[in-house]
Amino acid sequence: MITALSHIIPLAFASGLNLYATVAVLGLSSHYGLVTLPDQFRAFDNSLVIGAALTMYLIEFVADKIPWVDSVWDTVHTIVRPIGGALVAVTALGDASPAVTTMVALLGGSVAMTTHLTKAGTRAAANTSPEPFSNWFLSVGEDVLAVGISYAALKHPIAALTIAVVLLAGILAFASVLIRAVRRRLARPSDAWRDRLLRRSG
């Protein structure tokens, strides 16, 4: 079970950040024999899968650097990333009973949704800043983390599991702080507009 979770949780975590980068890492690692992989990961060793993942990753790489475009992209992927995380988790599990497969799909989807919502919320807060550099730094950092934890899940799975669990614990601990920050950021334009109306009417 620990061996299975050491693949499932880190890969689902990475899928919530960048699904296409995660799939590309799995496919390229299997295709070029970068690490010794269980047989179930060979499902990603397909030229069409690798090509599609790399193409979508390049599109996301550009979209992720443009303020507000990244938030629109994240909104679209609110469905895509959790489903992708669930599929990656089930594939990482390999052969199992229907009940176990269902539980792993729910676990993978939930982990991917958690990291996706954290990413989307952080971006929504960053987009209220007038400078674009915060978006670029966040985007590059997310890509590095997604690629790094995906490869670590294949090469050093226990270390990857530990990192993913610690990060998830941190996300859950600061979730309320992030939600309040996003609400304050989004409320500022409407507050400023209301203040202007009050001054004009006064």
Cα end-to-end distance, the chain, whole Å: 67
Task: Centre a 10 Å sphere on the Cβ of residue 84 and count the other Cβ atoms it contains.
Answer: 23
Q: What is the pLDDT of residue 189?
A: 55
Q: What are phi and psi of 53, to 5 degrees?
A: -65, -45
Report the alpha-carbon distance of residue 130 to residue 188 in Å, rounded.
13
Which two three-digit tokens encode residue 52?
């599609």
Instruction: State how far Cα 41 lies from the chain centre.
Output: 20
Which two three-digit tokens encode residue 7?
């693949």
Q: Alpha-carbon torsion 136, 142, 148, 151, what sign?
A: negative
Report the alpha-carbon distance of residue 11 to residue 14 in Å, rounded.
5
In terms of pTM, does the model score above 0.85? no
Which two three-digit tokens encode residue 106?
């729910």
Report the alpha-carbon distance of residue 19 to residue 11 in Å, rounded.
9
| pLDDT, tens only, 1-44 | 788 899 999 999 999 999 999 999 999 998 898 887 778 888 89
Q: What is the pLDDT of residue 71?
A: 87
* pLDDT beneath 50: ranges in the chain: none
Q: What is the pLDDT of residue 113?
A: 95
Q: Which domain holds residue 123?
A: 2-201
Longest Cα–Cα distance in the chain: 72
Q: Alpha-carbon torsion 145, 117, 41, 3, what sign?
A: positive
| Whether the Cβ atoms of residue 94 and residue 40 lie closer than 8 Å to each other | yes
Strands (E), the chain: none
Q: What is the pLDDT of residue 66?
A: 84
Q: What is the pLDDT of residue 180?
A: 72
Number of domains in the chain: 1
Task: Centre a 10 Å sphere on the Cβ of residue 91 and count the other Cβ atoms it contains.
Answer: 20
